[in-house]
Amino acid sequence: MPPSPSGKICTVIRECAPGDFEKAVLGSRRDSDLLEFRLDFLDPSQLTRERMRRWVALAGVPVIGTLRRKPHGGRFEGGAVEQLEMLGRVGGAGFSFLDIEVETLEAVGPTRLNEIRDGSWRLIGSYHDFRGTPSDLGTIFQRIVAVNAEVVKIATLAADFSDNFRLLELVSQGRRQGMPVIAVAMGELGVYSRLVAPSRGALLTYASTRAGQETAPGQFTARDLKCVYGLNSIDSGTLFYGVIGHPIGHSLSPQVHNHAFRQLGLNCRYLPLPTPSLEALAPYLQRFGGLSVTLPHKVAVLRYVDSRHPSVAACGAANTLVRREDGLWAYNTDLDGVRHALRGCLQGSPGRAVLLGAGGAARSAAAVLREARWQVTVLARNRSKAEALAGDFGFEADSLDRSGRYGGDLLINATPVGMSPAIHESPVAGKELRYGTVFDMVYNPLETRLLREARKGARVVSGLEMFVGQAARQCFLWTGREAPLQGMRDVVVGSLKFEV
């Protein structure tokens, strides 16, 4: 029998042309502990034993053969009997596993299945639900056991965060019964299960070859599982952190914080936790060592904390949760991010600043500038919002369309104007830039149009400095260790593929 996998990352090969399929096999070996060949993406005429045998040999790791039927999320249009006949044609090619849906196994019966068994592969009995997570997962588990599967696979769409734990309980059930299990909560709300289940005993977790090649919603790339999350070294002692908000698909926080944890030698992982409903996640907040909080939950999350640091009152919101012995604490490290970004300006005498924006980011900047006793004018498209923010801090206010009247020592852009993909926009025309320093909180791109135009006559500060500064403070609050700030900065620059 082929060897068992030495790790947990199973990369799914789903190319439609034989040449591309073979190329994907060769390109996936480095980051994979197993491969799954999705044979239903190939034309049936291309499914020959000789070709499969060659590809399995090229893989160099255990391979799962899967011919998924259309009713269960695949492309194979034949019925259960035809599916089994096709698998019988390639079953002796050296596959370590064949994945067959429980519905097929129930329809054809054990006699017909035994006709294609040759003792070289193990049977994965699988169940898929792309609409939700049924209430009777235990019954489904027993259905798969009843068809003599050697591995139980259940993949369902997560409707809320609790579905992750329902799927993880199946892994525990399998361990109690001595049955290997693959349990996947699909979709953006199920990423927790994909990252955590292997450390709880699941046989594997699925990965795509690259972004855009996912065979189920929520899959990570194999590269990210290996290099960003270090999946195979997650164990029962790993402490989890993460970012909650919605949407968070483009957040660089997992790359930054996992780099910091590695550099500090800590058995910790930072996970993306898309959270449309904070109420659904609230019962599980204490399972994490700490969390980053982003929109739209920065204010609502305060309902679930035990204590608030003064930084929360200063900003009117939280962006960080820390689990301590006396409960869950809320902080706002955006203040630290602003201080870090403006460290060159704030060390001298107070000056005059113009602050663009009236949202949460602007409030963080306003708190730091008031602390440093600067004179500030707040400009926003909605003048009433500018006046409300200015009134809270004792500043002046005006409308953004009157920005040409102003100048000073410092300009801060706390609006999203100029953020990717709208990289050609700027909140202030270049001819109106009469400042000693211009700080743009936008960090993607690293050099916005505002900074590019300001560079001609001013010192410029990228939003990268604020992002890294606040992240470093989060790391310290969670771990008590000084963060590797330069390394975290390099990760962001590398991820954005820009040079400062």
From the list 224, 334, 336, 440, the catalytic residue is 334
Task: Please indicate whether residue 385 is annotated as part of the active site.
Answer: no
Q: CA–CA separation, 333 vs 485, rounded Å?
A: 15
Task: Please indicate whether residue 431 is annotated as part of the active site.
Answer: no
Q: CA–CA separation, 341 vs 148, rounded Å?
A: 61
Task: Please indicate whether residue 309 is annotated as part of the active site.
Answer: no
From the list 153, 257, 259, 340, the catalytic residue is 153
Q: CA–CA separation, 359 vs 134, rounded Å?
A: 41
Q: CA–CA separation, 42 vs 393, rounded Å?
A: 64
Q: CA–CA separation, 470 vs 310, rounded Å?
A: 16
From the list 226, 298, 309, 340, the catalytic residue is 298
The per-residue b/e assignment along 351-365, b for 16 or more CB within 10 angstroms, e otherwise, is bebbbbbbebbbbbb
From the list 31, 72, 99, 128, the catalytic residue is 128
DSSP state of 423: T
Task: Please indicate whether residue 257 is annotated as part of the active site.
Answer: no
Q: CA–CA separation, 216 vs 210, rounded Å?
A: 13
Q: Which helix (H) or strand (E) holds 312?
A: helix 310-315
Neighbours of 120 (CB within 10 A): 14
For the residues of 135-171, what is the DSSP string, one character each? S-HHHHHHHHHHTT-SEEEEEEE-SSTHHHHHHHHHH
Q: What is the dihedral of CA 299, 367, 489, 230, to 10 degrees?
A: -20
Long-range contacts of 391-398 (CB under 8 A, 24+ apart): 392/363, 392/366, 393/366, 393/367, 393/369, 394/370, 395/355, 395/366, 395/370
DSSP state of 499: -
| Phi, psi for 232 (deg, rounded to 5) | -70, -10
Cis peptide before 416 (omega within 30 of 0): no
Place of tokens 């049955």: 179
| Burial (CB count within 10 angstroms: exposed 0-12, middle 13-18, buried 19+), residue 264 | middle
Q: CA–CA separation, 292 vs 125, rounded Å?
A: 38
Q: What angle do CA 15, 16, 19 make, to 5 degrees?
A: 75
Q: What angle do CA 8, 10, 14 make, to 5 degrees?
A: 175
For the residues of 66-115, what is the DSSP string, one character each? E--BGGGTS-B-S-HHHHHHHHHHHTTS--SEEEEEHHHHHHHHHHHHHH
Compute CA 309 distance to the chain's CA centroid, rounded to the nearest angstrom: 27
Catalytic residues: 128, 153, 298, 334
